[in-house]
Structure 1
Amino acid sequence: MLTSLSRLSNLLVTVAVGPGILTHEYAHYAACKLSNVAVYTRPALHPFDDSALLEHESVDSFGADLSIAVAPFLANSLLAFVAFALASGLDSGSRLLFLWLGFCFGFTALPSATDTETLLQTAASLPATVRPVGYLVAYPVRTATLSVWATGILTFVWTMTLAGGAVTI
């Protein structure tokens, strides 16, 4: 019974924000390629499973780790902003499509706890002179992803910020 509910939940999430999930994972993929990090699988949606995860080799470099972790934030935020901007100038039918896309991208922009789990370790491997800067960046990013509640609130606030005037409540 629990497995069936989990599968149904995963299907509903995939239908609701599938484009955002894919762009989130492809942003990781692009960051891996740009950082010369080997990728083992390409992202794909699995509607009844909770995985669309990108598998890549472990990363020892803080710069590569950070770029892979935050790439979806940059890519999906940009896509959400563009979708919301386009929505604000369209008629009702097209507007709804671009609003949905904006929400898909916005709600999937923040990194997950899995995306940021190695940031503190790679920051610790930085040379002593720049390690404090690494921690200054890594701690807030990691902390923001540790709590599902905090991430949910941040996601909502960030998406509504990106939506700007395109969405009126």
Structure 2
Amino acid sequence: MEFISTIVNAEYVTYAVAIAVAVAVLVAVLVGITVLARFLFRLFTVPGVVVHEFAHKQACDLVGVPVLEVAYFRFGDPPGYVQHVTPDRYRASFVVSVAPFLVNTIVAFAAFLGLATLVSTTGDIRAASSETIAAAAVLGWLGLSIGMHAFPSRGDANVLWNRSRTEWRGSPRVLLGVPIVVVIYIANLLSWLWADVLYAIGLFVLAAWIVGFGVA
């Protein structure tokens, strides 16, 4: 009986070890897939991050705000940033914070216009040359990536909100920026529901409509 009991216990140990190994392998695979997916997503959004931070940098130069450090893209959090001194005027803070929305939207829309025009003039995409297909893919990638990063960050909204809250008594005009702050907060909140992607797709739909309308 003791021999049989020993065999049964050994089987239980074997099963437990096998289950533990299987779980460990499954977790490692899931973690690996997650890391790979994040890496590929970061690569996909490189143009959007670069244009976003470039807009911040150019806005700082435009309004005379000294820039301390710039990272147009990196594999970290955040993927890009522009560190600058605190602007003396609310208007300068507003321009620096909102610049990426305007620049990314214009650049993404231009890329989508190019894509829509290329597709409309090609006709049957299946009969298009490899160069045309590659150009369409690049324009679509640029438009989607850049459009996804059009929304200002929560940090930009925080800067505007703090300045609006502290300066509105001395200059009631800063209250005009409060609706923009609210929109930025909502956009960042809805980004969990892929609102940034839907915004980029909306730009493409508008570009396609314009090209189609022009043809008609």
TM-score category of the 2 structures, normalised to the smaller one: 0.7 to 0.9
Sequence identity, in percent?
Answer: 25
Contact 1:32 1:38 in 2 (8 A): yes
Matched, 1:83 2:111: yes
The 3 A distance-change label for structure 1 pair 143 and 74 is closer
- Partner SS for 1:46: coil
Matched, 1:50 2:77: yes
**Aligned Cα RMSD in Å?**
2.8
TM-score, normalisation: structure 1? 0.81
Contact 2:151 2:188 in 1 (8 A): no
- Number of equivalenced pairs: 165
The 3 A distance-change label for structure 1 pair 54 and 129 is closer
Matched, 1:117 2:158: yes
TM-score, normalisation: structure 2? 0.65
Q: Within 1, Cα distance between the matches of 2:171 and 2:36?
A: 46
Higher relative contact order (CA 8 A, sep 6+): 1
Equivalent residue for 1:33? 61
Equivalent residue for 2:22? none
Matched, 1:73 2:112: no
Q: 5+ unaligned residues in a row in structure 1: which ranges?
A: none
Relative to its length, the structure with more helix (as a share) is 2
Q: Within 2, Cα distance between the matches of 1:18 and 1:134?
A: 34
Contact 1:43 1:53 in 2 (8 A): yes
Residue 145 of structure 1 and its aligned partner are, at CA, apart by 2.5
Instruction: Determine which of 125, 128, 144 is the counterpart of 2:184.
Output: 144
Deviation readout 1:84-113 (Å, 9 max, x if unpaired): 000112243211110110001100000010
Q: 5+ unaligned residues in a row in structure 2: which ranges?
A: 1-27, 119-131, 210-216
Relative to its length, the structure with more strand (as a share) is 2
Which one has a bigger Cα radius of gyration?
A: 2
